Chains A and B, each alone.
Chain A
Amino acid sequence: MTDAEPENLSRFHVLVAGGGNAGLCAAITAARSGVSVCVVEAAPRAWRGGNTRHTRNMRVAHEEGNGILTGPYPVDEYMDDLMRVTDGQTNLELAELTINASQELWDFLAEQGVHYQPSLGGTLSLGRTNAFFLGGGRSMLNALYRTAESLGVTFFYDTKVVSLDIENGFFESCEVVSQWQSDQPETRKLEARAFIAAAGGFEANIEWLKEAWGPAAENFLIRGTPYNRGAVLKQLLNAGVASVGDAKQCHAVAIDGRAPKFDGGIVTRLDCVPFGVVLNANGQRFYDEGEDFWPKRYAIWGRLIAAQPDQVGHVIIDSKSIELFMPSVFPPLQADSLEQLAVEMGIDSTAVSQTVNQFNQACRGSNFDHTVHDDCHTEALEPPKSHWARPIDTPPYYAYTLRPGITFTYLGVKVDKDARMIMHNGSTSGNLFAAGEIMAGNVLGQGYLAGIGMTIGSVFGRIAGSTAAAIVRN
C-alpha cells in the first residue's frame, strides 16, 4: 500500500469490484438491506457491464411455462444438463443451490426493471429453458444500473482496483485508480467492511492466456470486453484465496476471423461449417465438419483451429448452402472457381482443388436435410464428414476465415454456499465474497450450457450481496 491522501479516502459498507450482472445483483441486494455500497467498474461508462453487455438470456428452472418461456424446465432436467456438459466437474452442493435459486431469478430481475421477450428467430431451441431479455444484455444492464442508482449505490467508472489490502483472509481496504487510461490517473483508497469480487475472468489478458497456450494465444480473438484482465483474480489468488477450475482452460469457439480483437460479440459467429469443408493454411482438412449440429460443436472448433498452423481455418461452401445459416456480419470471399477462391484466400490453389475434389468424390447419400442428421456422408475419406456432405461444385464458391474466439476462462476463486471465498488453508474468509465469472468454475468446471453464466452471476450476486450486508449489520 502506498499512502493515499486523506481526501482521497472513501468509506463504504460494501465494495463491489466489477459492474456486470453479478456485481449489480450483489450491489442491489446489499443496498436494499440498507447498507452503503460502491461499485468499482474498470470500464468507462459507455463500456460498463463486462461481458453481460454481450449476453442475451439466462437459463432458469421453472415448473411451468409462463407465456414467454414455452414450457416447463424442471430443476432435475437442468441438473442433468449441467452434469452432462461438465461431465460431473462441478461442486454438487453449489450446483444444486444455483439451479434451485434460479427459479427466483425471473421475478427478481423483473422487480429490478428487467423486461423479457419470447425467443424469436434463430434461438427457438432455447425458448423453453432460457429467459430472454428484451433488447438483450445491455438493456438488462441498463435496468440494473437504473435500479442501483435509485437505491443510492455509488459508481466509480473507468476505475480499476490496483491493490487489495487483505490480512489473513480479511479485507481491509483497496487502492483504486480512476481515469487509469488517461494522462491524469487519480489514485484513491476505498475502505469497506466487505468486499465482493465480481470482476470476471482473465480472457482479455493475452499474456496470461499465453501461459496456457503459448504464442498461439497472440492469434486469439476475444469475443467480449477488453477489461476482463483478471487483475482482481490474480490479487486474490496471491492473497491466499484457494483457486478452482483449470487454469489452462478457456471457452474457445470458432468465429469469423475478421472480427475485431475485442468486443466482436454475437455477430462474429459463423454457422456455416456443417455445410462445407474446413481447410487449414496448407489447404488440408483436419476434422469432421458434419459430426453434429453446429450449436453442439462450435465450442470444440475453437480448440481445433487453435491447433492449426497460424490458428486459422477456411470454410469453403458453394451456392447451394449460402442461405442455410444466419447472415454473417462480414461478407464471404466469393469466386467462380475454386482456384480463384484459393487465390483470394491466400492459400495454395492446387492443394485446395485437390482437397475439395477428393471430398466431392467421397460424398454419398442424397437426402440432404440440414435439420436432421441426414444420410449425406463421405466414404473412405480421412477425416470423414458424417452428415450434410454434399459435393462443393456449384459456383459461385464462398469462403470464410475462422479463428479461435475466447468467450470466458474457467479459473476462479473457490467459494462456499454463502459466496464466501475459501482460503488456501481451508478456512473461510470473514468478508471476502465472489460472484459471477470469477467463481463460475465452482459450478461449471468444464463445458458450457447456454445462459448458465448469467444464472451463476445473478444467484451468487444476490447471495454475496445479502451475506455481505448481514455481516456489516452485525
Chain B
Amino acid sequence: MKTSIPIKEISVPKAAPSNAQSEAVRQMGVCNACRYCEGLCAVFPAMELRRQLTGPDVDYLANLCHSCGACHFDCQYAQPHEFAIEIPAVMANLREETYARHVWPGALAPVFERNGIWIASITAISVALFLVGFIVFTDASVLFASGSEEGAFYRVMPHNAMAGLFGAVFLYSIVAICLGVRSFWHSTGSQGSVSWRSLWQASKNAATLRYLDGGGMGCMHESEEPSNRKRIAHHFTFYGFLLCLASTTSGTLMHYVFGVQAPYPWWSPTVVLGTIGGIGLIIGPVGLLRVKREQIDALKAKPSRGMDVAFLYMLIATSVTGLLLLVLRATPAMGLLLAVHLGVVFALFISMPYGKFVHGLYRYAALMRHAHEQAQHKA
C-alpha cells in the first residue's frame, strides 16, 4: 500500500491526455472505483493494491496485461460510454511505450516507433549482407552448392566465422535485453528480494499463460464470443521457439562435445527438435496473425507500430527458411537457402532487444512482481 496521497494527480475521467501513461492512470481510476473485473486476470488485483496509480505503476500493470480482451467486452464503461474505457488498447500502447522507455542503449528508442518498417529493413539488409558476404569471402559458386554430408554448411561459411558471429550477436542481444528489463524492474518499484516462491509462481503462470483466458471463459478478439485460439497459438509459438533453442543447443553440443559437424542426420536431436519446433513456429505465428487480424480496433494499440506483426513474420521466416534448408539441403538450392536462413536468423538475433521479443521478459518480470506482492499482501 502506498501511504502518500497525491490526490491532485488523479485526472478527471473526462480528460483525454495524449500521453499513454496519464491515459492509463485516468482509465484505471475508473477501474479502481468499479472493480467488477477483479476476477478476470492479474491486472485488476494488482491495481487494487494501489490507491493512487503513478506512471511506473501503470507501466507495470500494462506488462502484466496479456491482452485477452475480456475486460473490454465486460465493461459497462467501454465506449460509447462517456468514460471511454479501453483498457486492452491503452495497455497495448503503454507496453510498447515501456519497451522504448527502458531500451538499451536509450538512443535506439525510436526503433520502437514504426517498428515494423525497422524490422523489415534490418532483415532485408541482413539477408543481402549474407548473400554478398558469401560471394566476397568465398566465391559466387557456393551460392549454388549442395550437400548434406558432414561439414557441407561450413564450406559455404566457415564454422568459426558462423559460431563467432552468431555467438557475438546473441550475447549482445541478451545483455541489451537484460539491461532493459533491469531498468524496467527498478523503475516499477523495489520490494526487497524476490523469493524462489514468486519465481516459481511466475514461471508457472508464464508457462501456462494463466492470464490469457479471461478468468476462465477464454479470450475475446472480435466479439464477446470467448475462444482459446490465441492461447493455443501462443503455446505453439512459445514452445516451438523453445524447441528450436533446444535444437541449436544440441547442435552446439554435437559440435563441441561429440565433434560431429553439421548438417546432422534426420534422426539427430538437432534435426528432430528443430523440425518439430520449426513446425510449431509456423502454426503458432500464423494463428496469432489470424487472431490479430480479426481483433476489433478497440483492443489494439493506437497508433499501430507494426511490432507484433513484424515479429510474427520474422519467426515464420526463420522457421520456413530453416525447414526448407533441411528439405532441400541436398540440392543446389542449399547455398542460397543457407544465406537466406542465416540472414534471417541474424536479423532475428540483432533485433531481439528492439522488437516484440522483449515482451516475454517484461511480462515475466511483471508476473514475478505480481506473485511477490500478492504473497506479501496475503502475509
Contact = CB atoms under 8 A, between A and B. Distances in A.
B71 interface: yes
A260 B81 CA distance: 10
Given A54-B76, A267-B33, A334 B215 contact: no
B80 A120 contact: no
Interface string B202-231: 000000000000111100000011000000
Interface in A44-63: 46-47, 53-54, 56
Given A138-B75, A142-B74, A329 B7 contact: no
Given A319-B5, A323-B5, A146 B225 contact: yes
A146 B225 CA distance: 7
The residue among B7, B32, B76, B83 with the most chain A CB atoms within 10 A of its own CB is B76
B82 A260 contact: yes
A134 B5 CA distance: 31
A145 B224 CA distance: 10
Contacts of B81: 263
B68 to A, nearest CB: 11
Contacts of B225: 146
A322 interface: yes
B154 interface: no
A327 B77 CA distance: 17
Contacts of B45: 120
A24 B70 CA distance: 21
Nearest to A117: B39
Contacts of B33: 266-267, 269, 326-329
Contacts of B8: 331, 334
A246 B255 CA distance: 87
A334 B6 CA distance: 11
Given A117-B215, A322-B7, A331-B7, A137 B76 contact: yes
Query: What range describes how many residues of B lie at the interface?
Result: 35 or more
B48 interface: yes
A139 interface: yes
Contacts of A396: 7
Interface string B66-90: 0000110111110011110000000
A430 interface: no
B108 interface: no
A400 to B, nearest CB: 11
Contacts of B217: 115, 134-135, 139
A115 B13 contact: no
Q: Which of A115, A135, A263 has the most CB of B within 10 A?
A: A135
B51 A327 contact: yes
Interface string A98-122: 0000000000000000010110111
A54 B81 CA distance: 12
B36 interface: yes
A336 to B, nearest CB: 12
A74 interface: no
Interface in B10-48: 10, 12-13, 29-30, 32-40, 45, 48
Contacts of B216: 115, 134
B37 A135 contact: yes
Given A117-B215, A327-B32, A135 B40 contact: yes
Contacts, number: 100
Interface in A321-344: 322-323, 326-332, 334
Given A135-B37, A142-B73, A329-B13, A267 B80 contact: no
A47 B81 CA distance: 9
Interface centre among B29, B32, B38, B81 (most CB of A within 10 A): B38
B74 A267 contact: no
B34 A139 contact: no
B77 A265 contact: yes
A240 interface: no
A267 B30 contact: yes
B37 to A, nearest CB: 6
B73 to A, nearest CB: 6
Contacts of B30: 267, 329
B123 to A, nearest CB: 40
Contacts of B12: 330-331
Contacts of B52: 327
A53 B76 CA distance: 6
Given A46-B80, A118-B39, A135 B34 contact: no
Q: Which of A47, A266, A267, A398 has the most CB of B within 10 A?
A: A267
Contacts of B29: 327, 329
Given A330-B12, A331-B7, A331-B8, A139 B51 contact: no
Given A328-B33, A331-B8, A136 B74 contact: yes
Given A117-B215, A134-B215, A142 B224 contact: yes
Given A145-B224, A267-B33, A329-B29, 13 more contacts: A120-B38, A121-B38, A134-B216, A135-B71, A138-B75, A139-B74, A142-B74, A266-B33, A269-B33, A323-B51, A327-B33, A329-B13, A329-B30
Top 8 A-B pairs, shortest CB-CB distance: A136-B36, A117-B39, A135-B74, A267-B33, A139-B74, A142-B224, A329-B33, A331-B10
